Amino acid sequence: VRIAVLGTGIVARTVGAALVRLGEEVTLGTRDVEATLARTDTDVMGNVPLARWREENPAVRLDTYRRATADADLVVNATAGSSSLAALHAAGAENLAGKVLLDLANPLDHSADGPPTLFVKDTDSLAEQIQRAFPDTRVVKSLNTMSAHLMVAPGALADGGTSVFTSGDDPSAKQVVTELLHRLGWRDVIDLGDLSTARGTEMLLPVWVRLWQALGTGHFNFAVAR
Ligand SMILES: NC(=O)c1ccc[n+]([C@@H]2O[C@H](COP(=O)([O-])OP(=O)(O)OC[C@H]3O[C@@H](n4cnc5c(N)ncnc54)[C@H](OP(=O)(O)O)[C@@H]3O)[C@@H](O)[C@H]2O)c1
């Protein structure tokens, strides 16, 4: 399967490399390939520039949002939430039409001091904004409620048995994503229902951020006991 993972940050890299390990063909999408490869800074979280990361991950390709998406069978949105609509418009509605879009972005607003706030919530969600902008695309929200390294290694937590959620209007698209989640090692996949249920998982982020601050690590996840 050819998968376009839109984004070049830690999430896109982690998910992209994991999908290559599963035997898929992966292309990361970025605004400007040359500009992205010319970056030399390690970011505040300690992530090395993409060019250096690619030396260790040569199987992961890099292209523009548009070219990465054009021949993809499945698309993953791993861009900053505030830029996701711009990134997807750059990819092109015609290239996204009919395709499953796994959206794991969060609508975080980092513009003020203190913990990020949500720029959409309660009565709408980023996932629904994306679905409205691209009505022919089959949007499924998932994997947005844990750190990148746990998205692809759910068994890495000592407690194990943690949960991941899915939201989406198209049952067959949700099935595609659920199978992918199983291949990544997820066992407790909770189908919350239609895409409006992504309001709930996106609104978990303020809780996630406080837990991260309190625990001093992102190495934790939500587990639904029942
Ligand atoms: N970090 C985590 O552990 C984690 C966990 C769960 C969910 N998430 C969500 O996953 C997403 C990715 O997170 P991240 O930390 O890997 O990276 P990020 O820093 O949030 O996003 C980086 C990506 O956003 C793109 N971007 C930024 N501004 C843009 C613009 N104006 N137009 C188009 N694209 C733009 C960048 O494009 P270029 O490549 O062109 O620079 C880059 O590919 C976010 O929505 C985040 O909330 C993150």
Please give the full DSSP string across 147-204, using - where no structure is assigned: -HHHHT-GGGSSS---EEEEEES-HHHHHHHHHHHHHTT--EEEEEESGGGHHHHHTT
Q: What is the pLDDT of residues 95-135, one digit of tens each?
A: 999 999 999 999 999 999 999 999 999 999 999 999 999 99
Which of the four pLDDT bands, split at 50, 70 and 90, describes residue 171? very high
Residue 225 CA to ligand 1 center (angstroms) comes to: 31
Listing DSSP states for 7-56 in one string gives: --SHHHHHHHHHHHHTT-EEEEEES-HHHHHH-----TT-PPPHHHHHHH
pLDDT in tens, 72-88: 999 999 999 999 999 99
User: pTM here?
Assistant: 0.98
pLDDT of residue 159: 77
The Å distance, Cα 85 to ligand 1 centre, comes to 12
- What is the best residue among 11, 30, 42 to mutate for testing ligand 1's pocket, by most ligand atoms within 8 Å of CB? 11
Q: What is the pLDDT of residues 22-46, one digit of tens each?
A: 999 999 999 999 999 999 999 988 9
Confidence check: pLDDT of 160 > 90: no
Does the beta carbon of 49 sit less than 6 angstroms from any atom of ligand 1? no
105 CA closest ligand 1 atom index: 45
Confidence of residue 175 (pLDDT cuts 50, 70, 90): very high
Nearest protein CA to atom 20 of ligand 1, as residue: 80
pLDDT given at position 196: 99
Would the CB of 89 count as within 6 Å of ligand 1?
no
Task: Measure the CA–CA gap between 178 and 3, rounded to whole angstroms.
Answer: 16
7 CA to middle of ligand 1, Å?
6
Question: Does the Cβ of 76 fall within 6 Å of ligand 1?
Answer: no
Tokens of 197: 């249920």
Question: Would you state the pLDDT for residue 44?
Answer: 87
pLDDT of residue 158: 81
Q: Which atom of ligand 1 is nearest to the CA of 14?
A: 16
Tell me how far the alpha carbon of residue 158 lies from the centroid of ligand 1, in angstroms. 28
178 lines ligand 1 (CB under 6 A): no
Q: Using the structure block, give the residue that is written with the tokens 């890495």.
A: 156
Going by CA atoms, what residue is nearest to atom 18 of ligand 1? 80
Closest CA to 126 of 108, 149, 152, 153: 108
pLDDT-derived band of residue 10, with 50, 70 and 90 as boundaries?
Answer: very high
CA distance 60 to 21: 10
Q: For residue 78, what are its two tokens?
A: 């791993």
Contact call for residues 109 and 83 (beta carbons, < 8 A)? no
